[in-house]
Amino acid sequence: MPITPDITLTARKLTRSFGNQPVIHDISLQLKRGEVLGLLGHNGAGKSTTMQMLTGCLLPDSGTIEICGIDLLRHAAQAKAHIGYLPETPPLYRELSVNDYLIFAARLRGMKSADVPAALALALQRCGLTDKSRKLIGTLSKGYQQRVGIAQAIIHQPAVIVLDEPTVGLDPSQIREIRTLIRELGNQHSVILSTHLLGEVESICDRVEIMQHGKLIYGDTSARMQQYGQVSGFIVSLRNPPVLAALQGIIGVTHVERLSEQQFRVLHSIEQNPSAELLALAAQHGWQLEQLTPLQARLEDVFVKITDEDAASGPARTEEVQP
Amino acid sequence: MISIIALRELRSLFSMPSTWFVLAVLQFIFAWFFLARLDAFLEIQPQLAQLANAPGVTASIAAPLFNVIALLLMMLVPMFTMRLIAEERRNQTLTLLLSSPLSGTQIVLGKFFGLMLFLIALMATTPVMLYTLQLGTPLDHGLLWSNVLGLVLLSACYAALGLYISALTSQPVIAAIGALAVLLGLWLADISSNAPDSPWHQLSPLNHFQNFNFGLLDSGDAAYFVLFSAVFLLLTVKRLNNNRVYG
């Protein structure tokens, strides 16, 4: 029996404008412990602004934010102790060593000095920085600086970790390591990350929210997003095809279309995948199966489809705004 | 919390070679001026001995030395205050402070006290230098310490003003020039207005230092220094909180 996970972050009806440029319209978010939420959107969709508001760096014009049940706007100090934030540019003091910087970050978040050494060792180890701990941050490469940025956000074991484009500027192997780390963090903490890389969402996020023009236009689990607006099915090539009715008779198949002499497009319901049945029948009746390609949409297609649909359904209310 | 920020500020300052260079040059200037005054004093000492109420060694060496330091600090403090907030803003490290469980007041006071510790360390050699005179002659401790107190209060004013101007911009150089312009402006307005009751005299921090320089502890002057610093620290806190409102 699954226990209902506690809610770590609740944001209700956030709005924000810069001057008279509205940037964020009516955003509501909720995050549970042990969940990784991907905030997806084009550049200038308002992802960073939203994250700044969630971390208390920017006041919303209206709306409320609660971190672990503490009102961020009224009891800022208590609420912020539960947040770890990596902004777009990692906030690094280049003249400090990695150790000194992380100790400073931990103490700043209100950790007792007795607890700091253990937390420091854990953060260094998690981010793969153990052998760089004495180096000056300014001398590290971009990838390592990004890791220091992440270490800074997780050192005090916050309930909510907010990462703004955490894998920007990293090489592919580092990206993989960071993703593994985020996945690992997501098991104990709540993580929000913003990104415009769809692969990232696919590989690490439990849930996706898509932002466009300062609004959340779509939210669901990332697995369901892949099925969004998608008919499930496959294309099958049979060298010795049977009559159409034989394919239509398989349980779960909703529609069969003959593409060519030997190729069929088979559509089926989401709940029941008839491919195993089809394979068995093909072997039994000697249909000589040659190829079976699922009609799997890539996340890219889905994303473009969702954002296009939104743009078409109503005129965009704002121009691209960067804070 | 305040001490964490203050110590970080000091650590960053001392990790830069330029800080050590400036410290070394300043110590050299202080020592050189001290020796020059000492030399002059020894030269005129026979004539001073014939006067009825002649100025003592503290009044003729220490007081001018402190006056010079006060002037030098006016030019130098902006160089140290410029980085405090402007550079954090430029390097985007301010977000770390803003997303931490800290109030604006704690951030500002941390930075202010961090810099004050540095300035006190910078000035600390001066009384040590003067106390070497005690090997040969008695010193006027009251005059000496009223000067030290005045100098600390004066540099607090400079630091608070510099901190505020640093909070206004994201360019450290502009912060330095701005703070220097205000301090120089106040000083020039003070020395160029001839009327003894001109309000410019009252506005200039350096003018309020003069009483301390003569060994006169005037609570009005002390109140001026405290108010001046407090006003600019408050303005800085306000500016930092506006950061959250206006982005």
Percentage of chain A surpassing pLDDT 70?
88
Of B4, B98, B101, the CB nearest to A78: B101
**Chain-centre distance for alpha carbon A56:** 21
Chain A hits for B15, Cβ within 8 Å: 95-96
Strand order in the sheet with A70-71: A21-32, A7-18, A62-67, A70-71
Residue in chain B nearest A18 by alpha carbon: B246
Helices assigned H by DSSP within A35-192: 47-54, 76-80, 98-108, 116-126, 142-154, 172-188
Is this complex's ipTM strictly greater than 0.95? Answer: no
d(CA A148, CA B46): 67
- Evaluate if residue B236 carries a pLDDT over 90: yes
Q: What is the C-alpha R_g of chain A? A: 24
- pLDDT value of position A315: 45
Q: Which residue has the higher pLDDT, A278 or A316?
A: A278
| Binary contact (A57, B8; C-beta < 8 A) | no
Residue contact B8–A104, C-beta within 8 A: yes
pLDDT classification of A101: cutoffs 50, 70, 90: very high
Alpha helices in chain A (DSSP H): 47-54, 76-80, 98-108, 116-126, 142-154, 172-188, 198-204, 222-226, 244-248, 275-285, 299-313
A6 to A74, A160, A162, A185, B157: CA distances (angstroms): 21, 12, 17, 16, 50
Interface check for B14 against chain A (CB to CB < 8 A): the answer is no
Q: Which residues are within 8 A (CB) of A242 and not within 5 positions of it... i.e. 6 or more apart? A: A285, A287
Residue A56 corresponds to which amino acid?
Answer: G
* Of the listed ranges A8-17, A152-161, A198-207, A230-239, the one predicted with least confidence: A230-239
Whether residue B144 has pLDDT greater than 80: yes
Provide the CB-side half-sphere exposure for B25 (13 A, CA): 8
Give B122's strand partners: none
Judge whether B84 is closer than 8 Å to chain A, CB to CB: no
Q: How confident is the model at residue A248 (pLDDT cuts 50, 70, 90)?
A: confident
State how far Cα A215 lies from the chain centre.
Answer: 17
Q: How far is B110 from chain A (nearest CA, A)?
A: 12
A108/B93 touch (CB, cutoff 8 Å), yes or no: no
One-letter identity of residue A242: P
- In angstroms, rounded to a whole number, what is the distance separating the alpha carbons of residues B242 and B108? 14
Residues from chain B contacting residue A100 (CB–CB below 8 Å): 11
Between chains, do B245 and A59 touch, taking CB under 8 Å as contact?
yes
Q: Which of the two residues, A307 and B21, has the higher pLDDT score?
A: B21
Q: Which residue in chain A is spatially nearest to B93 when comparing CA positions?
A: A91
Check residues B39 and A267 and name the one with the higher pLDDT. Answer: B39
**A282: burial class by Cβ within 10 Å (0-12, 13-18, 19+)?**
buried
Question: How many cross-chain Cβ pairs, A to B, lie less than 8 Å apart?
Answer: 80
The residues pairing with A30 across neighbouring beta strands, listed in sequence order, are A10
Least confident span in A275-284, A295-304, B148-157: A295-304
- Whether the CB-CB separation of A208 and A260 falls below 8 Å is answered with no
CB proximity A183 to B under 8 Å:
no
Residue B181, CA distances (Å) to A183, B61, B162 in order: 53, 30, 11
Closest residue on chain A to B11 (Cα): A96
pLDDT of A318 strictly over 50: no
Output A224-229 pairs: Cβ under 8 A, ≥24 positions apart.
A225/A201, A225/A299, A225/A302, A225/A306, A226/A202, A226/A296, A226/A297, A226/A299, A226/A302, A227/A270, A227/A297, A228/A302, A228/A305, A228/A306, A229/A302, A229/A305, A229/A306
pLDDT score, position A230:
58
Could B95 and A323 be called an inter-chain contact, meaning their C-beta atoms sit closer than 8 Å? no
Sign of dihedral through CA atoms A101, A102, A105, A108? Answer: negative
Cβ contacts of B93 on chain A, cutoff 8 Å = 91-93
Q: Is A91 on the interface with B (CB under 8 A)?
A: yes
Mind spelling out the 3-state secondary structure of chain B? CHHHHHHHHHHHHHCCHHHHHHHHHHHHHHHHHHHHHHHHHHHHHHHHHHCCCCCCHHHHHHHHHHHHHHHHHHHHHHHHHHHHHHHHHHCCCHHHHHCCCCCHHHHHHHHHHHHHHHHHHHHCHHHHHHHHHHHCCCCCHHHHHHHHHHHHHHHHHHHHHHHHHHHHCCCHHHHHHHHHHHHHHHHHHHHHCCCCCCHHHHHCHHHHHHHHHCCCCCHHHHHHHHHHHHHHHHHHHHHHHHHHHHC
Encoded tokens for A17: 């404008």
Cross-chain Cβ contact A77/B103 below 8 Å: yes
- The answer to whether the Cβ–Cβ distance between B100 and A109 falls below 8 Å is yes
Task: Choose among A211, A219, A214: nearest CA to A25.
Answer: A214
Distance CA B109, CA B234 (A): 10
User: pLDDT, tens digit, for every residue of B176-235?
Assistant: 999 999 999 999 988 888 877 778 888 888 888 888 888 888 888 899 999 999 999 999
Query: Is the CB of residue B125 less than 8 Å from the CB of residue B27?
Result: yes
- Whole-number pLDDT of residue A322: 42
Query: What's the whole-number average pLDDT of chain A?
Result: 81
Q: By the CB < 8 Å criterion, does A94 face chain B?
A: yes
Q: CA angle at residue A260 from A257 to A263, to 5 degrees?
A: 70
pLDDT, position A4? 46
Residue A173 Cα, gap to closest chain B Cα (Å): 27
Residue A56 region, left (φ>0) first, then alpha (ψ -120 to 50), else beta? left
Chain B residues inside the 8 Å CB shell of A22: none
Strand A233-238, strand A289-294: pairing:
antiparallel
The residue of chain A with its CA nearest to that of B7 is A104
> What confidence score (pLDDT) does residue A5 get?
54
pLDDT in tens, B92-125: 898 899 888 888 899 999 999 999 999 999 999 8
- Lowest-confidence region among A263-272, B93-102, B103-112, B155-164: A263-272
Question: Do residues A205 and A37 lie in contact, with contact meaning Cβ atoms separated by under 8 Å?
Answer: yes
In which band, very low, low, confident or very high, does the pLDDT at A3 lie, cut at 50, 70 and 90?
Answer: very low
Interchain proximity A104–B4, CB inside 8 Å: yes
